[in-house]
Structure 1
Amino acid sequence: MRDQNTLKSLAKLIEIVAKLRSPEGGCPWDLAQTPQSLIPYTIEEAYEVVEAIRSGNPEAIAEELGDLLLQVVLQAQIAQENGEFTLNDVVQGISEKLIRRHPHVFGNVEVSTAEEVRQNWEEIKAKEKGDSQLLSSKLSDYPRKLPPLMAAMKISQKAAQAGFEWENIAGVWDKFEEELAELKEALETEERSHQQAELGDLLFTIVNLARWYDLDPTEAIASTNQRFISRLQKMESLAPKALEAYTIKELESWWQEAKSQLS
């Protein structure tokens, strides 16, 4: 019964989107959209799903997943109108992919660990796409498809899996110190392009440190951003005047007070 209700709800959503895109009585905004114009909304909705998951609020998660699902259905509707593909093609394609890439569930392959599953997935994916064996070719898609910090982690992981890796964590810390020194030197003597390059090298090394310690740099910076904002909010609630009215020494005092109250 639950599955039937889900299918009915999905069918209703498809009908609603088709109506919004109808030249007769549809919505002018929806009719004006193209796959390209919807890109910012797709990215925004994906990030809002992530934020809802971080909040741990089930109602918010369900709502944001619905907004993201709308983007999928809308893209498929536009593609269908253009004679390119349908939502059925999308669903059928991902279903077949899941079956192909999980032979330990839908076939006779035996695995005992999550790492074996990952390795099988990558091998099957490479065969399907006819990937070049060159490491650079395998990594080249990440900067184009992912936010920079996520791309850096993916590149780091894949390079390490191919053997391009330090022998121990001490080597990573040595690289960090080296890159930090080079950034300091560049900031004192070099032009901006070189300074940017050295900053990038340091950030990439920090990503590698995160990988060695099994930490998520994207989650880490997102958490720091939120903590910073929360402390500013607390400072503003404690201070009788606008923050701009205080000296940096006074602001530091308010910051420490806010930090102590929130910790």
Structure 2
Amino acid sequence: MSNPQTSQTQTYHAILDALNHLINVVAKLRSPEGGCPWDLAQTPQTLIPYVIEEAYEVVHAIRSEDQKAIVEELGDLLLQVVLQAQIAQDYGYFNLQEVAEGITEKLIRRHPHVFGDVAVENSEEVRQNWDKIKAEEKGETPEMAQLLSRKLERYNRTLPPLMASSKISVKAAKAGFEWKNIDGVWEKFNEELTEFKESLETDNKAHQQSELGDLLFTIINIARWYNLDASEALAGTNKRFIQRLSKMEKFANRPLTDYDLEDLEKLWQQAKKQLN
């Protein structure tokens, strides 16, 4: 009969071996002697789009519940972490050890109910402790940490714009920045739509961008009033558009660029009907 502790130790060492192999492979890719020209040309800044893309790929895989895809996408995301750390090490900034030690220390520090003697009753108390410790780490007073603007700025800084807007909308509404009824929201939408249209009649690109942002934010507020998720809604639209486009390409007997708008519309309706 196998010893559970021995089995766990073997698994632990296998994981360390796999991580060490990955680290060595990335180091080789970044080596000036025999490394990969593409990897050597990368900087922390040039890799930003890949970090974002891989994070979204992980989310998509998790939602699909495809375990094989989840493993693959988590690997791609892990690569970005290791590669960023390797580049930083090449520049003499920090290394992967510091990254691992930093997050480990943070987890221990922010879970005093697990690694210390703090008692908690529920997950809400855990969250409150987390926020308090986080504020102390940043040198903020409890009052500063509770400022609505501070909370909203964190959303704006750390989340994709659409998701950040949804979070900001919810938090602002709870703080009292809310219409009395849905009619007020629709009035605001019509107001912002008019202002956006007016901005398009000018040559001021910054103003146009600003008005477009106001209009989108109002739409997100409408979604909140109807208990709809704007991010999920847009993701669904993107998926349907691609599916219909794929059907159109199957129906077409030549490249879509060779069709005029009227024929493209016919193909679109044909694809839409079949998918529905």
Work out whether the TM-score is over 0.5: yes
Q: Look up the match of 2:78.
A: 69
CA distance in 2: counterparts of 1:79 and 1:56, whole angstroms: 34
Question: 176, 186, 201: which one pairs with 1:164?
Answer: 176
Q: Look up the match of 1:23.
A: 32
When residues 121 and 210 of structure 1 are mapped into structure 2, their CA distance, relative to the original with a 3 A threshold, is farther
Equivalent pair of 1:179/1:198 in contact (CA under 8 Å) = no
Q: How does 1:201-220 map to 2 (within 5 A)?
A: 201-211=214-224, 215-220=228-233
Amino acid at match of 1:177: W
- Say whether residues 1:90 and 2:102 are aligned partners: no
Q: Post-superposition shift, 1:230?
A: 1.0
Q: Look up the match of 1:247.
A: 262
Q: Look up the match of 2:162.
A: 149
Equivalent pair of 1:182/1:198 in contact (CA under 8 Å) = no
Q: Post-superposition shift, 1:13?
A: 0.6
TM-score, scaled relative to structure 2: 0.76
CA distance in 2: counterparts of 1:212 and 1:124, whole angstroms: 34
Q: Deviation string for 1:58-95 (max 9, x for gaps)?
A: 22221121111111111111222333222121112112
RMSD: 3.1
Count of residue pairs brought into register by the alignment: 256
Relative to structure 2, which stretch is displaced further, 117-126 or 223-232? 117-126
CA distance in 2: counterparts of 1:89 and 1:130, whole angstroms: 22
Q: Deviation string for 1:28-55 (max 9, x for gaps)?
A: 3322322222222222222322333343
- Say whether residues 1:179 and 2:188 are aligned partners: yes
Q: Post-superposition shift, 1:144?
A: 4.2
Equivalent pair of 2:172/2:178 in contact (CA under 8 Å) = no
When residues 100 and 160 of structure 1 are mapped into structure 2, their CA distance, relative to the original with a 3 A threshold, is farther
CA distance in 1: counterparts of 2:221 and 2:227, whole angstroms: 10
CA distance in 1: counterparts of 2:137 and 2:234, whole angstroms: 35
CA distance in 1: counterparts of 2:26 and 2:233, whole angstroms: 37
Question: 230, 234, 246: which one pairs with 1:233?
Answer: 246
Amino acid at match of 1:4: H
When residues 116 and 153 of structure 1 are mapped into structure 2, their CA distance, relative to the original with a 3 A threshold, is farther
CA distance in 1: counterparts of 2:53 and 2:92, whole angstroms: 27
Unaligned residue ranges in structure 1 (runs of 5+): none
Q: Post-superposition shift, 1:201?
A: 2.5
CA distance in 2: counterparts of 1:28 and 1:157, whole angstroms: 46
When residues 160 and 23 of structure 1 are mapped into structure 2, their CA distance, relative to the original with a 3 A threshold, is same
Amino acid at match of 2:229: D
Amino acid at match of 2:119: V
Equivalent pair of 1:21/1:31 in contact (CA under 8 Å) = yes
CA distance in 2: counterparts of 1:160 and 1:33, whole angstroms: 43
Q: Post-superposition shift, 1:21?
A: 2.0
Equivalent pair of 1:183/1:195 in contact (CA under 8 Å) = no
Q: Post-superposition shift, 1:20?
A: 1.9
Amino acid at match of 1:118: R
Q: Post-superposition shift, 1:27?
A: 2.5
CA distance in 2: counterparts of 1:119 and 1:214, whole angstroms: 26
Q: How does 1:33-112 map to 2 (within 5 A)?
A: 33-107=42-116, 108-112=118-122
Question: 128, 136, 143: which one pairs with 1:127?
Answer: 136
When residues 111 and 160 of structure 1 are mapped into structure 2, their CA distance, relative to the original with a 3 A threshold, is farther
Q: Post-superposition shift, 1:196?
A: 4.4
Q: Post-superposition shift, 1:246?
A: 6.0
CA distance in 2: counterparts of 1:43 and 1:150, whole angstroms: 14
Q: Deviation string for 1:3-36 (max 9, x for gaps)?
A: 2211110011111112222233322332232222
Unaligned residue ranges in structure 2 (runs of 5+): 1-9
TM-score, scaled relative to structure 1: 0.80
